[in-house]
Structure 1
Amino acid sequence: MQIKALGRSGLAVSELCLGTMTFGNTTSESDSIRMIHQFMEQGGNFLDTANVYVNGRSEEIVGEAIKDFRPEVVLATKVRMQTADHANGAGISRKHIMQSIEESLRRLKTDYIDLYQVHVWDHITPIDETLRALDDLVTSGKVRYIGCSNFFAWQLMKSLACSDANRYVRFISIQPQYSLVSREMDREMISLCLEENVGIIPWAPLGGGFLTGRYTREEPSSGRLTAKVGESSWMLRATDRNFAILDAVLAAAQELDKTPAQIALAWLLGKKGITSPIFGASTLDQFADNMGSVGWKMPDEIWNRLDEASALPSEYPNRFIDKFARPL
């Protein structure tokens, strides 16, 4: 597995990141630990969790799995969501951050987090308060690097500018939803990250399971897409456009003798600016399937075909700006 630098940092991470949202829920503790160990044996070193995954149980399982080789792991977790039933039990205020880091460290059985991420923007807390608190955590040694997730482009740029102006640590990465069927980040976020050298670690790279090919145009009978609401709900995924993209994925899979999941992940691995797609698995078979996306390169012709099939329509101001682009 290839190793990459994460954003504007010297932090070396594997080209795939193992997501642990299902650990302790649809994935048993024993299978979760086996996945982590197999991931490490196959060259992976990047693990992502969050303090709200399965009410903290995911962090506990990850901590147990890595306790004997903690220095080898790049450990990422998140803060922001509701973790206690009181007014300060959510958000990215100094109070909630300082409480949450201690709880995560305890569950993860470690004294530091490699990448501590803001799970989503907080409209109540000023970003300078958040960044100062995170800067203090880095200074104290409890956190090595910071990142964010689910931000607008303006929110990320405001955060970077605040860090630069106050000499706080900078976000080195962002964790957005991004896949062949969810390319909204192409509008502004991708170009911002390339300009500012912010690493991109996409979540839901398989569109909540849609790109695995297990679903047809009929109503799903099982799986995450049966949810009535949420980013992976059937209402959002089952569109004519998405099924046309899935048809292109299935054709590429047949042509290359790969699985649809491997094709969808390999497309992301070939996308400029993407550092490490975060894949999850509920079973060991799903894990093995996803790991088959590395160790080979998709032919340019097929990659371009998938890219064109999933590209967003040309929109203002991009089409206007591109019209007047100056050649070098």
Structure 2
Amino acid sequence: METRFLGNSGFKVPALGLGTGTFGGKGPLFSAWGSTDVAQARRLIDLGLDAGMNLFDTADVYSDGASESILGEAIKGRRDQVILSTKLTLRAGDGPNDIGASRHHLIAATDKALKRLGTDYIDLLQLHHFDAMTPVESVMSTLDDLVRAGKVRYLGVSNFSGWQLMKSQAVADRHGYSRFVANQTYYSLIGRDYEWDLMPVGQDQGVGAVVWSPLGWGRLTGKIRRGQPWPEGSRLHDTAGFAPPVEEERLYRVVDALDAIAAETGKTIPQVALNWLLQRPTVSTVLIGARNEEQLVQNLGAVGWSLTAEQVAVLDDASRVTPPYPHYPYWNGMFTERNPPLVRP
């Protein structure tokens, strides 16, 4: 499998990684995603490693820590073959300090994650959200201490805005702390908000995108079609409150375009949607999910080939939206002479 640099880190990751939100199946949200046990997880990891996909992403809140524990069990005896990525800062307990990016919680949560994963270091540690109640200087200082202690090798964020990421980088630069090199972000053909602020910041600051939900919360699997009801068993029935809204006609327009290109290429709709993402600027890796072996094998078919420029243009056109001010002038050409847009929607 193709490997790419994780932002400006000098560290390479595979073009596809496996998201392990399906491991464990605890709670109303994650039980809708899947309930993979240790034996099943071990098999998925075997298939991933055989394909050259050695990045596995989890979080302390996935099934109340069960995802990390199952992942840790499944990689026993082969820690040196895998890249472990996890996230923290969301509420992970009932105590007043079991949430956020305080020094207390970052250190305690990292130690708990290390124990569940059965390892003495985490390759990529990401903040799951921005904590406005903790000074950025304290956050970056604590993260730098974790890196210097050898518990963490690389740092990333998730669900940050552009200014939050930029402020964090500025503080790190001012004090000589470790910088963020990854941004785990929602990005798909029906969710292109990443391009407005976060992609330009990523390009400027050397922060690579680690893309989650690349199939738009299951909307781009090919099972949702114009004029047809949602299929039974779709996780959108159970997670609709979490999934970002998408205008219905735009969704069908994108699916129609994917359908046509899938027919041209002999690939599936998900494979085409994933391949489009892999051609976008700043994307370091795309996290795929899988409830079973069949889904994983199908998603792995998104690599090893490339859409043509004409096919990319068709998908760009079908998924186009007008960004809000002050971004839209860059998209409609008003400022392109001196400030060319990073990408055109």
Quickly name the TM-score band, shorter chain normalised. Answer: over 0.9
CA contact (8 A) 2:44 2:293 kept: yes
1:142-188 residue CA offsets vs partner (Å, 9 max, x unmatched)? 00111000010010001100100111100001011100010011111
For normalisation by structure 1, the TM-score amounts to 0.95
Paired residue secondary structure (1:175): strand
Pick the aligned partner of 1:232 from 243, 256, 259: 243
Pick the aligned partner of 1:222 from 233, 238, 255: 233
Partner residue, 1:11: 11
1:326 equivalent in alignment to 2:338: yes
Partner residue, 1:180: 189
What percent identity do the matched residue pairs reach?
40
Partner residue, 1:282: 291
Pick the aligned partner of 1:73 from 76, 82, 104: 82
Cα distance in 1, alignment partners of residues 214 and 82 from structure 2: 22
1:260-301 residue CA offsets vs partner (Å, 9 max, x unmatched)? 110110000111211101111111111111001011111111
For normalisation by structure 2, the TM-score amounts to 0.90
Aligned counterparts, 1:1-328, within 5 A: 1-25=1-25, 26-29=34-37, 30-216=39-225, 217-227=228-238, 229-232=240-243, 236-237=245-246, 239-313=248-322, 315-320=324-329, 322-324=333-335, 325-326=337-338
Cα distance in 2, alignment partners of residues 53 and 276 from structure 1: 20
CA contact (8 A) 1:27 1:283 kept: no
Paired residue secondary structure (1:18): strand
Q: Pick which of 313-322 and 179-188 moved more.
A: 313-322
1:233-263 residue CA offsets vs partner (Å, 9 max, x unmatched)? 7xx2462111111111111111111111101
TM-superposed deviation, 1:327? 8.4
TM-superposed deviation, 1:319? 4.3
Q: Pick which of 72-81 and 134-143 moved more.
A: 72-81
Amino acid at match of 1:184: D
Cα distance in 1, alignment partners of residues 289 and 17 from structure 2: 9
Cα distance in 2, alignment partners of residues 72 and 201 from structure 1: 20
CA contact (8 A) 1:225 1:232 kept: yes
Paired residue secondary structure (1:247): helix
**Aligned-residue CA RMSD in angstroms?**
1.7
TM-superposed deviation, 1:39? 0.4
TM-superposed deviation, 1:228? 5.8
For this pair of structures, how many residues does the alignment match?
326
Q: Pick which of 47-56 and 215-224 moved more.
A: 215-224
Cα distance in 2, alignment partners of residues 304 and 69 from structure 1: 42
Q: Pick which of 260-269 and 317-326 moved more.
A: 317-326
CA contact (8 A) 2:223 2:230 kept: no
Relative distance call for 1:114 and 1:327 in structure 2 (3 A) is closer
Q: Pick which of 117-126 and 21-30 moved more.
A: 21-30
Cα distance in 2, alignment partners of residues 188 and 51 from structure 1: 27
Amino acid at match of 1:230: G
Cα distance in 1, alignment partners of residues 325 and 61 from structure 2: 38
Cα distance in 2, alignment partners of residues 156 and 314 from structure 1: 20
Cα distance in 1, alignment partners of residues 304 and 269 from structure 2: 16
Q: Pick which of 185-194 and 133-142 moved more.
A: 185-194
CA contact (8 A) 1:210 1:237 kept: no
TM-superposed deviation, 1:320? 3.5
Cα distance in 2, alignment partners of residues 52 and 62 from structure 1: 14
Unaligned residue ranges in structure 2 (runs of 5+): 26-33, 341-345
Amino acid at match of 1:165: R
Cα distance in 2, alignment partners of residues 114 and 105 from structure 1: 11
CA contact (8 A) 2:196 2:323 kept: no
Cα distance in 2, alignment partners of residues 327 and 240 from structure 1: 32
Amino acid at match of 1:28: T
Paired residue secondary structure (2:85): strand
Relative distance call for 1:167 and 1:308 in structure 2 (3 A) is same
Q: Pick which of 180-189 and 23-32 moved more.
A: 23-32
Relative distance call for 1:244 and 1:137 in structure 2 (3 A) is same
Amino acid at match of 1:226: H
